[in-house]
Amino acid sequence: MSFSNMFPMYFIQGQQWLGLLPLLCMALTAIATLLLAPLRLQGRATAFAMLLIGSIAAVASTVVFPFSETIIILDGVLVFDRLSQVFSAICVLAGLAAALMSLGFDEREALQTEYFSLIAFAVVGMMAMVSTRNLVFFFVSLELMSLAVYVLVSMHRQSSMASEAGLKYFLLGGAASAVMLYGASILYGTTGSLDVEGIRNAFQSQWGGKLPILPLIGLGLFSVGLLFKIGAFPFHVWIPDVYTGAATPVTGFMISAVKAAATGALLRMSIELFALPVAAEPFLITVLSIIIVATLLFGSLVGARQTRLKRIFAYSTIVHTGYVLLGFLALLGGGAGAKDASSAIVSYTVFYVVMNLGAFAVLTLISPKDNDDISLDQLTGLGTRRPLLAFALSVFLLSMAGIPPTAGFFGKYYIFSAALASGYTWITVVAAIASVVSAIIYLRPMIHMYMKESDESYSALPSNWLGSNMIVGLSLFLTVVMGLIPAWFSKLL
Amino acid sequence: MSTATLLHILSAYLFCMGMLGLILRRNTIVMLMSIELMLNAVNLSFVTFARELAQLNGQVQVFFIITIAAAESAVGLSILINVYRSFGSIKTDHTTVMRS
């Protein structure tokens, strides 16, 4: 075997540069931001400006240079298609929104200036994660994202809650990605390929889709990592503590961008890897159904008893994970709804990201100094103190609850109708019941804002930052627009 | 039993030991080492599979995993320093302020 056979030279050319452009923009931004952050004067402002320019360039390059066919680099190590473009754009914009809502907050809470470059690195990881077919590269990009987010979580140095949250997230996340990698290794050993396409072909040619036990174990272990990041039932334990301990803008970033990236990656893996074995093995559908029911019931029942706002949103995100997984059930079940399911998942993710970013921007604005763990009591009288913010928060909460004219309703509607079309009636009924129960989660903060007497001791909540206000306004506008033209967003994929 | 089978059993054993260590031990340094042990078990399994399949592809992945493991332990140790500053201890019994 000669050297050039063992290590063939590979050059990126023509159209491939076009697909790579957003990822390159973001990667260069991340490095430039890291280099500029320690500048003594205006390091923070320079870093933010770099992130702003880079994010806009990354999104613009996907919009300005659309390509019709799928671009494949290095035999599937990077794949750029519609799915990766949509999810990359969501992640970049969510990262930018998180950076915007931390302007002012980061100075008050003395967050390090490397904050912005960590966001940029996490976004690079997410973009790579949603656009790869190679299992090991998937692990590398997942870790690029996770390592940046671990640091972001524990960055709030004055707060012991943040260090505890960072430690928990790091230990559980490290274990989950090691388990995922072991699954990838077993899949490689049984099929002789690390590429998702090669693995699927091997499934088809060796076993005709009906897998023996070893590759099934590999698939199961591999999906653990994905289910951990998305926060499904047995792997949800970290969500409430980590989301409470992290600084509010960081929680906003995790709840939107990290969740969206995990959903996008799970969508790609479901279509390209999981669909074939699940179609041949009805047992796996049962497992997924149990996970969905447990996630929905746990999130809505425990969430209804919480009294701290960030914990409330943490349980709300577990419920939302249940709905998204219902979409995946319709997709993998292969019934009549499978075709609509992937677009339903995409539109649900867009709606979910916008309303959560809006809600967390509001939380940033009303968070008291040094302790941004706001309780329901601190919300009392917000309707009279900050009427606009209270109105915005109410719209986001109603949208999360899925009250008809808002975006959240249509997201749920698309998912439920896809699941019904695929013939999963009873589990859709369970999801509908869970959405009624989880309405309590969202109505309690509204009762506190509007119907309880204002307690004077909490009335001095000073912050009025431009960035967060912009995000609140933009999210409010988008939530209303999405409620008016939801069909456009369901055609994104 | 062939060498490959023995190596697979060894890697599965190491992986389970790492998992057990993570679950049972209360010292976070040991927990960090357990995660590294799990990643190294995966490395061993990758190399064994690559040898069985007579491919270079699987062996090369080990370098990526080693790099990630190094980055992970760097981040992990800095998180531990942060935890030690806040709590004065790195035992998981002492590092809880949040009610789970």
ipTM of the complex: 0.96
Q: Within a domain: residue B99?
A: no
By CB atoms closer than 10 A (0-12, 13-18, 19+), residue A268 is buried
Of the candidates B20, B14, B45, B70, the residue with the CA atom closest to the CA atom of residue A140:
B70
**Cα A269 to Cα A132: distance, rounded to the nearest angstrom:** 9
For B12-45, give the DSSP string.
Answer: HHHHHHHHHHHHH--BHHHHHHHHHHHHHHHHHH
Number of domains in chain A: 1
- For the ranges A164-173, A294-303, A444-453, which has the lowest average pLDDT? A444-453
Distance from CA of B3 to the nearest CA of A (A): 15
Q: Within a domain: residue B19?
A: yes
Put simply, the chain B residues between 12 and 71 with a CB less than 8 A from any chain A CB are: 15, 18-19, 22, 28, 31-32, 35, 38-39, 41-42, 45-46, 48-49, 52-53, 55-58, 61, 64-65, 68, 71
Tell which wins on pLDDT, A441 or A11. A441
Interface residue of A147, A164, A311 to substitute, partner B, most B CBs within 10 Å: A164
Record: contact B83-A164, CB cut-off 8 A:
yes
Range of the domain at B48: 3-87
Q: Within a domain: residue B97?
A: no
**Cα A101 to Cα A115: distance, rounded to the nearest angstrom:** 12
Range of the domain at A293: 281-493
Give the model's pLDDT for residue A79: 92
**Residue B71 pLDDT greater than 80, yes or no:** yes
Record: contact B15-A147, CB cut-off 8 A:
no
pLDDT tens for A392-450 read: 999 999 999 998 888 999 999 999 999 999 989 999 999 999 999 999 999 999 998 88
Neighbours of A462 (CB within 10 A): 9
Smallest Cβ distance to B79: which of A167, A182, A240? A167
pLDDT, chain A, mean: 90
Q: Within a domain: residue B65?
A: yes
pLDDT tens for A210-238 read: 889 999 999 999 999 999 999 998 899 99
Give the model's pLDDT for residue A460: 53
Residue of A nearest to B94 (CA): A164
Distance from CA of B85 to the nearest CA of A (A): 9
Q: Which residue has the tokens 């994660």?
A: A129
Interface residue of A157, A167, A217, A306 to substitute, partner B, most B CBs within 10 Å: A167
Domain containing B79 — which CATH number?
A: 1.10.287.3510
Number of domains in chain B: 1
Residue of B nearest to A185 (CA): B46
Q: Within a domain: residue A445?
A: yes
